[in-house]
């Protein structure tokens, strides 16, 4: 069994020690492409998490007071360690998650880019001196680390979702207790290993795997944890927001999406299809910013469908480690059943399956990339996140109707629109009720920009200059009697 150059840790990191669960219990991790056992991780719970919080709380006392130069230096070392180990980290990610290797390599690179971004950005978090109403006073605004941060992350981007949290937290001077998703713990544990290797002090980064309600319960109920950052489903996010109320914990929530992708008659057809493929099929359709609903104007509808069908049919499906593969397996059986159910629902309501429609001959959790036309607002995927390789096309005539349909959802994460009309592009910027809008682009995530949703897609931003704010408190000090 490969240990991926020592990066695959089968233990938890608590206070600088690699440890098992108190009762020795472990959980098996399987490769979704082959079903093979990758390894085991501790099935830890409340007590282990309490110790991780205590270690983080102790470490915060000194870490929060390290010099800016020291923190920035360590973050640059962490960036370099991630890139030096990019191939092993990508292989590990594909082994536990299933995505094609080229995507896994890209995920490691963007994670490293977040680390470098926040190492640069922390040097520019300036305070303020506000003009005081009288001459004997000075009014200062300063920024300080929020404290111990609890982090809970999903399986679809097991490395970069942690990057967007760990990097700003460490830059700000916070310490970390992280719980990676149970399907993909190794990419999270590898962050602990690399942080330790490059010299972050013991207790600054702690990683605990195991029972979600027990670990989450400890994080939410311990007063030492001053902030919780969560990426995952809206339902679990709502539960954590409720739990945070007791202690009025600072929270940021990166939750589910239901992205519309609007193609107007005046769009560049080739560009729209290229963007559609990225926005729909990256990570087998398992991204929070994946297109859920394609709205295509009547004049371009048939040409778009024909080109999209060809592009989908050309995708190579298989184990993510094989050359040329662009679609791996879905994460698990539940994910397959969800997509199957949505296809059955659409067919029963008059949708036409133009391509795919079922499990792939490769077995396991491989699924045929699927194209459905004739989608209507009654179909389940109009309201529910698909999280799979299913493209549903709704035909529309009129711009206002398309925008209204696009906004008719409780979610508000990402939206896309393709048009060559500049005025219409700005109408999309203003009219689409989403935290992120891609005009003539199906891939908008970048470290420089604030990533995050509105409505039930969440609160808070990751990346951009805004991505630090969640890990800091803003303090106002009045100096009087001068």
Distance (Å, whole) CA 300 – CA 308: 12
Find the binder of ligand NAP among 232, 357, 369, 460 (CB under 6 A): 232
Find the binder of ligand NAP among 239, 271, 303, 425 (CB under 6 A): 239
Closest contact distance (angstroms) between CB of 232 and ligand NAP is 3
464 contacts ligand NAP (rule: CB under 6 A)? no
174 is catalytic: no
The first and second tokens of residue 182, run together, are 């149970």
Element housing 396 (H / E): strand 390-396
Are 196 and 13 in contact by the 8 Å Cβ rule? The answer is yes
Nearer to ligand NAP, 169 or 305 (CB): 169
The residue written with tokens 């604030």 in the block is 450
Other Cβ atoms closer than 10 A to 425: 16
The first and second tokens of residue 380, run together, are 């389940």
The answer for residues whose C-beta is within 8 angstroms of residue 23's C-beta and 6 or more apart is: none
Catalytic one of 96, 103, 121, 254: 254
Find the binder of ligand NAP among 96, 107, 121, 385 (CB under 6 A): 385
The residue number with the shortest CB distance to ligand NAP is: 216
Distance (Å, whole) CA 301 – CA 294: 10
Q: What are the two backbone dihedrals, phi and then psi, of residue 418, each rounded to the nearest 5 degrees? A: -115, 120
Sign of the C-alpha dihedral computed for residues 301, 306, 307 and 309 taken in this order: positive
Ramachandran region, residue 324 (left: φ > 0; alpha: ψ -120 to 50; beta: rest): left
Stretch that binds ligand NAP, among 7-15, 78-86, 107-115, 209-217 (CB under 6 A): 209-217
Element housing 138 (H / E): strand 138-145
Stretch that binds ligand NAP, among 2-10, 27-35, 146-154, 375-383 (CB under 6 A): 146-154
Closest contact distance (angstroms) between CB of 255 and ligand NAP is 5
Closest contact distance (angstroms) between CB of 305 and ligand NAP is 26
Closest contact distance (angstroms) between CB of 386 and ligand NAP is 10
Stretch that binds ligand NAP, among 154-162, 169-177, 302-310, 347-355 (CB under 6 A): 154-162
Nearer to ligand NAP, 320 or 435 (CB): 435
Catalytic one of 288, 368, 385, 469: 288
Ramachandran region, residue 460 (left: φ > 0; alpha: ψ -120 to 50; beta: rest): left
The residue written with tokens 């690699």 in the block is 18
Closest contact distance (angstroms) between CB of 221 and ligand NAP is 11
Find the binder of ligand NAP among 155, 186, 295, 366 (CB under 6 A): 155
374 contacts ligand NAP (rule: CB under 6 A)? no
Find the binder of ligand NAP among 35, 213, 299, 341 (CB under 6 A): 213
Binders of ligand NAP among residues 62 to 91 (CB under 6 A) are none
Stretch that binds ligand NAP, among 15-23, 89-97, 178-186, 419-427 (CB under 6 A): 178-186
368 contacts ligand NAP (rule: CB under 6 A)? no
Closest contact distance (angstroms) between CB of 457 and ligand NAP is 6
342 contacts ligand NAP (rule: CB under 6 A)? no
Nearer to ligand NAP, 208 or 277 (CB): 208
Find the binder of ligand NAP among 11, 167, 181, 225 (CB under 6 A): 181
231 contacts ligand NAP (rule: CB under 6 A)? yes
Binders of ligand NAP among residues 252 to 271 (CB under 6 A) are 254-257
Other Cβ atoms closer than 10 A to 239: 15
DSSP state of 132: P
Are 22 and 14 in contact by the 8 Å Cβ rule? The answer is no
Closest contact distance (angstroms) between CB of 5 and ligand NAP is 26
The first and second tokens of residue 374, run together, are 């004739």
Distance (Å, whole) CA 304 – CA 265: 10
Nearer to ligand NAP, 71 or 282 (CB): 282
191 contacts ligand NAP (rule: CB under 6 A)? no
The answer for residues whose C-beta is within 8 angstroms of residue 463's C-beta and 6 or more apart is: 114, 117, 164, 445, 446, 447, 448, 449, 450, 451
385 is catalytic: no
The residue written with tokens 């067919």 in the block is 347
End-to-end distance of the chain based on CA atoms, in angstroms? Answer: 69
Closest contact distance (angstroms) between CB of 104 and ligand NAP is 15
Distance (Å, whole) CA 236 – CA 244: 12
The residue written with tokens 């005025």 in the block is 423
Residue 456's closest CA among 232, 156, 157? Answer: 232
- Please count the residues of this chain forming the interface with ligand NAP, following the rule CB under 6 A: 27
182 contacts ligand NAP (rule: CB under 6 A)? yes
Closest contact distance (angstroms) between CB of 385 and ligand NAP is 5
Q: Which positions are annotated as active-site residues? A: 254, 288
Give the interface with ligand NAP as residue ranges (CB under 6 A): 152-157, 161, 179, 181-182, 212-213, 216, 231-233, 236, 239, 254-257, 288, 385, 413, 453, 458
């Amino acid at each position: 069994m490969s240990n991926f150059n020592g990066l695959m840790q089968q233990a938890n990191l608590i206070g600088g020690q690699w440890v098992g669960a108190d009762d020795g219990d472990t959980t098996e991790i399987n490769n979704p492409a082959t079903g093979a056992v990758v390894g085991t991780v501790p099935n830890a719970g409340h007590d282990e998490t309490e110790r991780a919080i205590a270690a983080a709380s102790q470490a915060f006392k000194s870490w929060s007071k390290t010099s800016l130069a020291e923190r920035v230096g360590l973050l640059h070392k962490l960036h370099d360690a991630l890139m030096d180990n990019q191939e092993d980290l990508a292989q590990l990610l594909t082994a536990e998650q299933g995505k094609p290797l080229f995507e896994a390599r890209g995920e490691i690179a963007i994670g490293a880019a977040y680390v470098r971004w926040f190492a640069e950005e922390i040097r520019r978090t300036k305070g303020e001196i506000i003009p005081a109403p009288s001459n004997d006073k000075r009014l200062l605004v300063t920024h300080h680390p929020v404290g111990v941060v609890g982090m809970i992350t999903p399986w679809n981007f097991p490395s970069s979702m942690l990057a967007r949290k760990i990097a700003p937290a460490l830059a700000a001077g916070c310490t970390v207790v992280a719980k990676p998703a149970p399907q993909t713990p190794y990419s999270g544990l590898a962050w602990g290993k690399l942080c330790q290797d490059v010299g972050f002090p013991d207790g600054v980064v702690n990683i605990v795997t195991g029972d979600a309600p027990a670990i989450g319960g400890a994080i939410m109920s311990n007063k030492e944890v001053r902030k919780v950052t969560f990426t995952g489903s809206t339902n679990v996010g709502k539960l954590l927001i409720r739990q945070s109320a007791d202690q009025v914990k600072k929270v940021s929530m990166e939750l589910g999406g239901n992205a519309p992708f609007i193609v107007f008659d005046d769009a560049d057809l080739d560009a729209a299809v290229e963007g559609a493929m990225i926005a729909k099929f990256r990570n087998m359709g398992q991204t929070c910013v994946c297109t859920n609903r394609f709205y295509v104007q009547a004049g371009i509808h048939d040409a778009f469908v024909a080109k999209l069908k060809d592009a989908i049919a050309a995708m190579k499906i298989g184990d993510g480690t094989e050359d040329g593969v662009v679609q791996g397996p879905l994460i698990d059986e539940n994910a397959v059943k969800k997509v199957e159910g949505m296809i059955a629902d659409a067919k029963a309501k008059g949708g036409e399956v133009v391509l795919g429609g079922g499990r792939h001959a490769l077995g396991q959790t491989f699924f045929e990339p699927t194209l459905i036309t004739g989608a209507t607002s009654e179909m389940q995927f109009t309201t529910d996140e698909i999280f799979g390789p299913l493209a549903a096309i709704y035909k529309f005539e009129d711009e206002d109707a398309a925008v209204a349909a696009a906004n008719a959802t409780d979610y508000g994460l990402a939206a896309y629109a393709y048009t060559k009309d500049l005025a219409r592009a700005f109408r999309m910027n203003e009219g689409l009720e989403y935290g992120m809008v891609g005009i003539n682009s199906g891939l908008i995530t970048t470290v420089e920009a604030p990533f995050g949703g509105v409505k039930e897609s969440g609160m808070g931003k990751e990346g951009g200059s805004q991505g630090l704010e969640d890990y800091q408190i803003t303090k106002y000090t009045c100096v009087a009697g001068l």
